[in-house]
Chain A
Amino acid sequence: ILNVEQSPQSLHVQEGDSTNFTCSFPSSNFYALHWYRWETAKSPEALFVMTLNGDEKKKGRISATLNTKEGYSYLYIKGSQPEDSATYLCALDTGRRALTFGSGTRLQVQP
C-alpha cells in the first residue's frame, strides 16, 4: 500500500494570510499527482493534475508546485478568504489504474 502523506492535518489562518501545505509521496512510484478541494457536505472537486517535475500550476489565488525527484508537492493559497475553507486532498496516480489519496489538510480561514 502506497503512503501518501499530507501535512499539516489542519490549519487555522486569518483572512488575508497566505498559506501552504505539503503532499509527500514515494518518488519511485509516480505518474501524476492530483490536488482536490473538498468542502464540507459536498463532493471533492479537482484543482490540478500535475505530471512533470518542476511543474507549476495556478488557478486564481491557488497554485501548486511539484518535485518528482524528491517526492513532494506544495499547494499555496495567497490571501486566504473564508470561502477557501475546505479540506485539500492530494492523490498519487502510479499509472496502475487507481489513485491513492492522502488524508488531507483541513483549512479554516477566520474572517
Chain B
Amino acid sequence: NAGVTQTPKFQVLKTGQSMTLQCAQDMNHEYMSWYRQDPGMGLRLIHYSVGAGITDQGEVPNGYNVSRSTTEDFPLRLLSAAPSQTSVYFCASSRLSSGGQETQYFGPGTRLLVL
C-alpha cells in the first residue's frame, strides 16, 4: 500500500493563479480531508468528505474548492491564489466507524508559496 499520496511536494504560484493539489489513498477509506498548517496555529480543517459525492466545509474553506468523484481521490483547488494561502497542506484519510472516525493517516504534505 502506498497509503496517502500528495502531489506536488512543493509549488510556487503568483497571486491570482489557480492550481489543484492532488491527494489519493489506496486504503479504501471513506473519509478524506484537507488541512493547512501555519506556524503557531496547528492543523486547521479546510474541507472534508465522508464518501464519493459528499463534501463539506471545515474551519477555513474560503478560497478553496473540493470534489470527490471517486473513493480514492480528493483534489483541492485554489481558485485564485493569494499570499495568505502560503502554507503547508496535508491530506488525510480514515475509516469511519458507527459514530466517528478511526485513526487518520496523513500524506507527506504540499508546501505552497504564493508570491
Contacts and interface: CB of A to CB of B under 8 A. Distances in A.
B53 interface: no
**Interface bin, chain B:** 20 to 34
B50 A97 contact: yes
A31 B99 contact: yes
Contact of A98 (B33, B41, B42, B108): B33
B104 A98 contact: no
Contacts of B56: 97-98
A101 B37 CA distance: 11
Interface stretch (A14-22, A41-49, A63-71, A76-84): A41-49
Interface residues of A, number: 24
A89 B103 contact: no
A99 to B, nearest CB: 7
9 contacts: A34-B103, A46-B103, A46-B105, A89-B43, A91-B104, A93-B100, A95-B99, A101-B45, A103-B40
Nearest to B45: A98
Interface of A: 1, 31-32, 34, 36, 42-46, 49, 89, 91, 93-95, 97-104
A100 to B, nearest CB: 7
Contacts of B96: 97
A45 B104 CA distance: 8
Nearest to B101: A93
A102 B106 CA distance: 16
B45 A104 contact: no
